[in-house]
Amino acid sequence: MSALLSADRIIRVGSLTFRVHRRSARTGLILLILVAAALLVSLSVGTIMLTSADLWATVTGDASASTRRSVWSRRMPRALTAVLVGASLAMSGAVFQSLTRNPLGSPDIIGFTTGAATGAVVQIILFGGGILQTATAAAVGGMLTAVLVYTLSRRDGVTGGIRLVLVGIGIGAGMSALTSLLMVRADINDATVAQLWTSGSLTGRGWPHVWSLTVVMVLLVPLLIACGRSISYLEMGDDTAQALGIRVERRRLQAMMLAVFAAAVAVAAAGPVAFIAFAAPQIARRISPATGVQLGISALTGGLLLLLADLLATNLDIGLRTPVGLVTSVLGGVYLLFLLARRI
């Protein structure tokens, strides 16, 4: 107990008390530095390579108009969107993996991002693909899929962890089939737009995406943090959580809807980017010694992973612009095989 207390630091802000694990804080600081470094690299590389002097001149206003336009209008909003989308997906994955007590319990595997993608494809093919309309349809699709999965996985008033995963996988497969059916029967132009969107991409993302994601994160993160302690108790099992005075199903539903909303907003901004929600929370648990749901470390890890994947996608010399979702799918598949190989 003394070792545990020596590793923690108590911070009081008014009537609120926070316990910060010192090693986790150092890990978070290192991740924050890595994110900042990756941001600088993403601002420097591209069709026109920029030096640190060019970036400083852009900040002071001494750079050429084309350089300022390249940095402020294209590279900076795209990089910040990558960080925010990755952080949102990672926090959603951390919550779901804790709720299901299963590493496969991430929103991209149990169907929620697939449902969001289906909502966007329905909007693009049947009603027209406006940016705001597509984003709204994706968010609504993700939330409706979550309600369906929760309802079907509920038995005797309880939503079991593995049952939630299995029902989610089944619903996700059905949504994926519906998406394919719509794209096969669609006009070739609409099908092309839908295919590009469902690949997951950060191309063309600008400041409206950054500001909308920032507003959502400001509103959502405190709510997720407030649920964090209850989620940690739920990891111990329903009986233990009830003995500690937790209203299990109410807290599970609250945390689940917040996590689904975080994933749906990320999908609305960048499409269904795969495996960030799956891999980032697991990496966070491996590099951070603290117990419980790792929201902060997961968010930084997810932002860093998606930013690095986008750097790889934009600079991969294969003669075309590779959607970042395809890069994360390949890297995530390799990571999943690595995990399976270690456990077999």
Domain of residue 333, CATH code: 1.10.3470.10
| Torsion angle of C-alpha atoms 122, 123, 127, 132, degrees rounded to 10 | 180
Are 99 and 252 spatial neighbours (Cβ–Cβ below 8 Å)? Answer: yes
| Inter-CA distances, 331 with 85, 230, 276, Å | 17, 32, 10
pLDDT of residue 6: 44
Q: Model's pTM, two decimal places?
A: 0.86
Q: How confident is the model at residue 3 (pLDDT cuts 50, 70, 90)?
A: very low
The mean per-residue pLDDT over the stretch 67-90 comes to: 90
Q: Is residue 170 classed exposed, middle or buried when 0-12, 13-18 and 19+ CB atoms within 10 A define those classes?
A: middle
Residue 235 domain flag: yes
Instruction: Decide if 4 is inside a domain.
Output: no
Mean pLDDT, rounded, for 190-211: 83
Average pLDDT, the chain: 80
By C-alpha distance, which of 123, 50, 42 is closest to 86? 42
Structure tokens at 7: 């590793």
Q: How far apart are CA 32 and CA 37, in angstroms?
A: 9
Number of folded domains that form the chain = 1
* Domain membership flag for residue 13: no
The distance in angstroms from the start CA to the end CA of the chain is 35
Pair 43, 76: CB distance under 8 Å: yes
Instruction: Report residue 109's pLDDT band, with 50, 70 and 90 as the boundaries.
Output: confident
Pairing of strands 16-21, 8-13: antiparallel
Spatial separation of the C-alpha atoms in residues 236 and 99, rounded to whole Å: 10
Cβ neighbours of residue 307 closer than 8 Å, sequence gap 6 or more = 35, 38, 39, 42, 79, 82, 83, 86
Asked if the model's pLDDT at residue 323 lies above 60, the reply is: yes
- Mean pLDDT (whole number) for 98-126: 82
How far apart CA 116 and CA 131 sit, in angstroms, is 14
Residue ranges with strand state E in the chain: 8-13, 16-21, 154-155, 158-159
In a domain, 2, yes or no: no
For residues 284 and 94, is the Cβ–Cβ distance under 8 A? yes
Separation between Cα atoms, residue 257 and residue 155, nearest integer Å = 18
Whether residue 232 lies inside any domain: the answer is yes
Is 5 a member of any domain? no
Q: Does residue 265 lie in a domain region?
A: yes
pLDDT band at 156 (very low <50, low <70, confident <90, very high): low
Tokens representing 49 are 């390579």
Better-predicted residue by pLDDT, 120 or 241: 120
Whether 206 contacts 70, CB under 8 Å: no
Q: Residue 55, class by beta-carbon neighbours within 10 Å (0-12 exposed, 13-18 middle, 19+ buried)?
A: middle
Q: Is 144 exposed, middle or buried (0-12, 13-18, 19+ CB in 10 A)?
A: middle
Per residue, the 3-state secondary structure of 304-322, as one string, reads: HHHHHHHHHHHHCCCCCCC
Per-residue pLDDT of 167-194, as tens digits, reads 888 888 888 888 888 888 888 888 887 8
120 in Cβ contact with 184 (< 8 Å):
no
Q: Which two tokens stand for residue 214?
A: 């920032």
Instruction: Identify the domain containing residue 245 by its residue range.
Output: 22-343
Amino acid at residue number 104: L
Question: pLDDT confidence of 258, banded at 50, 70, 90?
Answer: confident
Judge whether 8 lies within some domain: no
CA–CA gap between residue 31 and residue 301 (Å, rounded): 7
Contact between residue 178 and residue 118 where contact means Cβ atoms under 8 Å apart? yes
